Amino acid sequence: MGRTQKVVHGGCKLIFAIPNALSKYRADSFSTKEPETLEWIDTIPQGSVMWDIGANVGIYTCYAAKARGCRVFAFEPSVFNLELLARNIYLNNLTERVTIIPLPLAPELSMSRLIMTSTDWGAALSTFGQTYGHDGEPIRRVFEFPTIGLSMVDAVALLNVPQPDYIKMDVDGIEHLILKGGIPILRAVKGILIEINDAFTTQAEDARRYLQEAGLSMQAKRHADYFDANSGPAKFTFNQIWVQ
């Protein structure tokens, strides 16, 4: 766990803990895996409030906080990712700018299970309160634990989390459900970057409807070029950028 790696992007210097191969991959591919996400963060005005929903180990949380001076609220329910998220925040001297919220977002306040496909540090593809994954198919259950989910509205009303100016959301399958429970919050945001799988039509159509209901318009839909050669769901998965 003491192993770290330095990353430099656009003049911003970061340090990430890399205790396993997956976390090292996230550091190695920082500038290439989701260039559109980094470009979007670069447009956020200095000092904005950003919610990172599905923060994982915090690589984009740390970049937004350090490169743009954002006040970031990092939502990450995985008990395995939380350790690296906290370490990465500390390694980059961002404890004054980043707050960890170790709960999943959901359509409403509820008790259910976080179902995980991996217990590795840095793993993704989990779901809360549902039995399907990022592609709408039944999820492969490797580990699970009970926890409490809350809506975006609950986060503001019950936890006093500040209204976000910008939202980054990547939760691998239930994005549309979180949007459904957060329309009052979405009406006041300036922009949102959200990962959507176009092949998961229920997710794609519902997400579009809720975002439009909140007054947002799609500005762009992008992913790295190498995803186009992928034969799996990644080929149909894009980061959508929406603005008021």
Q: Tens digits of per-residue pLDDT, 34-85? A: 999 999 999 999 999 999 999 999 999 999 999 999 999 999 999 999 999 9
Pull the structure tokens for residue 200.
């998961």
- Residue appearing with tokens 């998965």: 237
Phi, psi of 59 (to 5 degrees): -65, -40
Per-residue pLDDT, 229: 83
Contact yes or no for 38/137 (Cβ under 8 A): no
Alpha-helical regions (H) of the chain:
21-28, 35-42, 59-67, 79-91, 152-159, 175-180, 183-186, 201-213
Cross-strand partners of 239: 195, 222
pLDDT per residue as tens digits for the range 99-154: 999 999 999 999 999 999 999 999 999 999 999 999 999 999 999 999 999 999 99
- CA dist 211 and 243 (Å) reads 9
Output the CA–CA distances (angstroms, integers) from residue 79 to 3, 46, 137, in the order listed.
Answer: 20, 31, 24
CATH fit for domain 34-243, picks 3.20.20.70, 3.40.720.10, 1.10.10.60, 3.40.50.150: 3.40.50.150
Q: Which tokens sit at 233?
A: 């769901």
Whole-number pLDDT of residue 107: 97
Record the pTM.
0.97
Average pLDDT, the chain: 97
Which phi and psi (to 5°) does residue 157 adopt? Answer: -75, -40
Q: Which percentage of the chain shows pLDDT scores above 70?
A: 100
Candidates 9, 132, 107, 114; CA nearest to 62 is 9
